[in-house]
Amino acid sequence: MFKSILYKSLGVLALMITGVFLFLYYVTYSEGTRSGELIKFSNKGVLFKTWEGEISQGISGAQIFRFSILDRDKEVIEAMKAAEGQYIKVNYEERFTTFPWWGDSKYFITDVEISQSPHRSKYGSNSP
């Protein structure tokens, strides 16, 4: 009888842990867009290599948006490599948490496009 209760309890616990893991793995918290100048993009890590980057969202660089890109998003990775130092607009998904094999950030880029900076006029100067 005691073994039966123990096995059932362990089974329920295993199902609960699996359910929480699947929820964190597949469910997104929010989705949105951000734009700014791509100031950093790198492949880093020792055990798990992940793609990490930063976008400067302010004129002074005080507002930094840190993000990760999943390895499966090869097109996004190549677009980021080509956009280094340029003004970009990105679509992202925010997760509840991250895993070591995903990256350092809870924000994951799903699409990127090179855009025109709102701080530059069409003549190339910052003055109106």
Confidence at 105, pLDDT banded by 50, 70, 90: very high
Mean pLDDT across the chain: 87
Give the number of other CB atoms < 10 A from CB of residue 22.
10
Q: Is the distance from CB of 68 to CB of 16 less than 8 angstroms? A: no
pLDDT over 90 at 110, yes or no:
yes
Strand residue runs (E) in 63-127: 64-69, 87-95, 107-114
Q: Does the pLDDT of residue 128 top 70, yes or no?
A: no
List the chain domain ranges.
Answer: 28-114
What single DSSP character describes residue 125?
A: -
Name the CATH superfamily for 28-114: Nucleic acid-binding proteins (2.40.50.140)
Alpha carbons 126 and 88: distance in angstroms, whole number: 18
Give the number of other Cβ atoms within 10 Å of residue 87's Cβ: 18
